[in-house]
Amino acid sequence: MTQVTMIVNGDSRTASVPPETTLLMLLREHFNLTGAKLGCDVGDCGACTVIVDGKPVNACLMLAVQAEGRSVLTIEGLATQNELHPIQKAFEDQASLQCGFCGPGVILSAKALLDNIPDPSKQEIRDALSGNLCRCTGYTKMIEAIQESARVLRGGSADQAV
Partner 1 sequence: MKRRGRGIACMWYPIGFTVAANASAAVVKVNEDGTATLLTGTVETGQGALTVLGQIAAEELGVATDDVHVVSGDTDTTPMDTGAIASRTTYVTGNAVRLAAEKAKAILFEVAAPLLGVRADQLEARDRKIQVKAFPQRFLPIGEVANHAQLIKGQPAIGSASWNPPTVAMDPETGQGKPFNTYVYATQIAEVDVDDETGEVEVLRIVAAHDCGTAINPMLVEGQVEGGISMGIGFALQEEILFDKTTGRQLNPNLTNYIMPTSLDMPDIEVDIVDSYDPTGPFGAKGVGEPTSVPTAAAILNAIHNAVGVRIMSLPATAEKVLAAIKEKKGRQPKQISAA
Choice between 13 and 141, CB closer to partner 1: 141
Alpha-carbon distances of 95 from 38, 57, 152, rounded to whole Å: 23, 25, 17
Nearest distance from residue 97's CB to partner 1, in Å?
7
The one-letter amino acid at 139: Y
CA-based nearest residue to 45, from 144, 135, 141:
135
Choice between 50 and 134, CB closer to partner 1: 134
Q: Does 132 bind partner 1 (CB under 8 A)?
A: yes
* Cα Rg of the chain (Å, integer): 16
Angle between helices 122-129 and 103-116 (to 10 degrees): 130
Q: Does 9 bind partner 1 (CB under 8 A)?
A: no
**The dihedral sign for the CA sequence 152, 34, 47, 70:** positive
List the beta bridge partners of residue 16. Answer: 3
Half-sphere exposure of 115 (CA within 13 A, CB side): 13
Q: Does 140 bind partner 1 (CB under 8 A)?
A: yes
Site string for partner 1, 36-55 (x = CB under 8 A): ----x-x-xx----------
Q: Does 89 bind partner 1 (CB under 8 A)?
A: no
Number of residues that bind partner 1 (CB under 8 A): 28
Q: Does 121 bind partner 1 (CB under 8 A)?
A: no
Q: Does 63 bind partner 1 (CB under 8 A)?
A: no
Q: Does 143 bind partner 1 (CB under 8 A)?
A: yes
* List of residues contacting partner 1 (CB under 8 A): 40, 42, 44-45, 94-95, 97-100, 125-127, 129-143
